[in-house]
Structure 1
């Protein structure tokens, strides 16, 4: 599931996209950047600022084309923010397309500080009203604040930046560094180095997780971006200012993200294993960043010499728990609600869930039937879809592990079984000339008999058992992937201990 890599890179770049430098009252300014991963061009970013009649509209767009196991995948994101000339937020809209349809969010900000949101995905629409993030700055407001502080070396300050994709604010620290020159494909420009760190609190089913997204910017004194540098999932991601023709020229990357996402093991993991301990070693400089979650099937402990021991056991649920869930566990109750990507209240999802469950009344039996129904009914199993919601998957009957996971979670929730998604690594054996490897994977967990049980609709026996490592637990929504910044691509497996 190399979309883990793709989405983490896309999300990090999108969050780091700075504002377009402010100009005259009625002027249009457009900036173009070429996006490179490990020195290969994969896409572009475009920022446009348009001022008219006392309002400023900032339109940002990004497109990346990637290769996943021989299948091309395109990630497209776009946002439009409208503010007053003084930087007061008025409205926004954003869209994300990863291969099958798009997810859109529209929002308006009222005078009393409330924000009205409308989210649409897979034909479903959800509306809500909540407070606009306090003091959060949209692009124009952020640019005005950055220019107010100036670019004197040693200057540091904090602000709250508005992230339209998630309709939330991010605590953002800015530190001005030295002046110097930047090589822009042979063109030398003078600029100043600014380190920007956006801090998010990602709400997961296991509680809030703090995630930091650092980026190094080279900008002019007018705050025009010359270059952006990031280290994401072990890859060097860079965006360079350039002309329109080069920015929007076809991507030339030959890098296969499926191959790049694989993790080699020192030995194989038999399918019959009951318990497996994976000994992880953080890559140099990533020791403080690495964070692996503990679940009911996975225990994490510190090992010698800075290693991390992750022990995964095969679960054997025996509960006769019925549906719908009637307990009081807060995490389970939260994992019964519909979300933007897990639309368990979609009438088509509800009907499919009832069909899958049939006359089964026990929750575990029903969950197994749902997983088998998903495995059978997703007929086109390939890597061509970037990321689709449950409703979209039900219509297309196409996708890989992430589509299986979100549809399974939605169907389970629709019949009253608490369900959540899990992203991590799964053992795949030999691949791309390497003998023992794990690859990116996503599956589902259901709450049965007081514990979260792994459920995998991509395999007939519904579980990889101890042949997988969970790196992130989420609700199937795109913001979940931000928490992968604390694990994905940050470690190697130095030993494997297999128990019968």
Structure 2
């Protein structure tokens, strides 16, 4: 079942580039201050406020953001309404992908968050998120492909809504050396995130032929291994530039502009070609069952970059260097568990989520059709793996991040779609399955990739994208979630920790 024309996907990176740019947009909103806003303060604020920004990756314009802020009345009550739009285009192996998001947020006149609704358009599907803030709880509804999930999240006392974060420094007074901490509630990750704010220095920005005096403010977010954004804003709270510092080894920024320039022609950047990882050392041939490598991480904690498991071991050497060893032991199908597997320790890996709809009637029906009367979990998993590999005939990079139900209907996609469909089918017949995100070797380089693991009495990696019943030892699992959330964003953690910072020297390869 080996394939030579391997398709691979960097969609986890694509998702997080887009997510982080969207996330940063909420720092660029109007100069709102925390605490109560008096009528006198409101009188000095100019509404509506209209901001246009160009989105840049490695110096290439890939899209724009637009934020419009005004004051409205609903049921006799005043609200600050913030509407934002983002559009960007990048390439995966020469195939163009467009992603857009629109969002509307309502804040009370005391800046307390009240309501938001967000719509993200990906190729082939739309994901909608709507939230209500009620006291110290956030109630959130997510919709994707006809499936709805609802969550409630408890908020800390000092939580800040995204729209107000960037201007807390303005309210305090911009003083070089001022440093403090806040909790930001992220509507994308559906949880509060600690943020350290630091007013670094004064500077000057070139804008429309003028030198504009600005302050440089750093925001360090405790998420995805640690992220830092920097903002260049003037004393009135006008943002001229926002940069994600060292993110994935690429310069990513938003730059103030006008509507004509923002909507003007954009270039494109290929995130796969620009970010593949070339190893040094011993050559890799075929599909080895043993891989030993010296891995080095420039910046960050290498001990947190990889997932340790029975088959993947990491030995720290100090200085952000480590020895990585991966061994694939043969599967004895006679020792495989029988389905359904309901052990409490793995029951969570049978659940249905927005992207993995294992409780969908069509998913259940197809899985039963594929495995027939087979109860041996390993043999059933191989039947599902073979079916997914053979039937997703269009190995397309045009799909964004399709859900299992969407993939079953279209039978197209790359590693993300192969993986979520396999996971849903396997879970639906009682085989605990989890999603892995990491690297796989193809041709002459490592690429970011998704694949599933099944529990048959022990965890075994499979790869329905590449047609491998048992994934070979070039599958390197990076940090991230073991169980996907309804946003599935956690699988980008390993990408953020390693991209353009990880080097691999192959020391040993065995068949």
The 1:358/1:184 distance shift into structure 2, 3 A limit, reads: farther
Q: What's the secondary structure of 2:16's corresponding residue?
A: helix
Count residues with an aligned counterpart: 479
Query: Are 1:56 and 2:80 an aligned pair?
Result: yes
Q: What's the secondary structure of 1:465's corresponding residue?
A: coil
The 1:188/1:366 distance shift into structure 2, 3 A limit, reads: farther
String of CA shifts for 1:403-444, please: whole Å, max 9, x gaps. Answer: 111111111121221111111111111xxxxxx211121101
Query: Are 1:105 and 2:133 an aligned pair?
Result: no
Match of 1:33 among 44, 48, 53: 53
Distance 1:100 1:247 in 2: 26
- Structure 1 residue 461: Cα displacement: 2.9
8 Å contact kept, 1:137–1:160: yes
Query: Are 1:125 and 2:148 an aligned pair?
Result: yes
* Cross-structure match for 1:207: none
Distance 1:351 1:176 in 2: 58
Distance 2:210 2:79 in 1: 34
Match of 2:336 among 300, 311, 320: 320
8 Å contact kept, 1:279–1:494: yes
* Cross-structure match for 2:248: 233
8 Å contact kept, 1:177–1:194: yes
Spell out the pairing of 1:83-482 with structure 2 (5 A cutoff).
Answer: 83-111=107-135, 113-132=136-155, 134-142=157-165, 145-184=168-207, 188-200=211-223, 211-230=225-244, 231-253=246-268, 255-266=269-280, 267-283=282-298, 285-286=299-300, 291-303=305-317, 306-318=320-332, 319-329=335-345, 332-429=346-443, 436-449=444-457, 451-474=458-481, 475-476=483-484, 477-482=487-492
Question: How high is the TM-score relative to the length of structure 1?
Answer: 0.90
8 Å contact kept, 1:280–1:307: yes
Query: Are 1:81 and 2:96 an aligned pair?
Result: no
- Structure 1 residue 33: Cα displacement: 0.9
8 Å contact kept, 2:302–2:321: no
8 Å contact kept, 2:54–2:64: yes
Distance 1:163 1:459 in 2: 35
More strand by share: 1
Q: What's the secondary structure of 2:222's corresponding residue?
A: strand
The 1:271/1:132 distance shift into structure 2, 3 A limit, reads: same
String of CA shifts for 1:114-164, please: whole Å, max 9, x gaps. Answer: 333221111212234443455322245435633321211111111111212
* Cross-structure match for 1:205: none
Unaligned runs of 5+ in 2: 1-8, 33-41
The 1:290/1:251 distance shift into structure 2, 3 A limit, reads: farther
Distance 2:424 2:265 in 1: 37
Mean CA deviation greater in 227-236 or 285-294: 285-294
Distance 2:152 2:319 in 1: 50
Match of 1:42 among 35, 43, 62: 62
Distance 1:380 1:411 in 2: 19
Distance 2:352 2:490 in 1: 15
String of CA shifts for 1:313-346, please: whole Å, max 9, x gaps. Answer: 12323332112222131xx222221122112122
Question: How high is the TM-score relative to the length of structure 2?
Answer: 0.88
The 1:481/1:39 distance shift into structure 2, 3 A limit, reads: same
* Cross-structure match for 1:203: none
String of CA shifts for 1:171-223, please: whole Å, max 9, x gaps. Answer: 111100211112347654221000001223xxxxxxxxx63221111111122
Q: What's the secondary structure of 1:146's corresponding residue?
A: helix
Distance 1:98 1:481 in 2: 17
* Cross-structure match for 1:496: 507
String of CA shifts for 1:10-56, please: whole Å, max 9, x gaps. Answer: 22222223032236578221211111111111111222212123101
Distance 2:67 2:440 in 1: 38
The 1:155/1:77 distance shift into structure 2, 3 A limit, reads: same
- Structure 1 residue 76: Cα displacement: 1.7
RMSD: 2.2
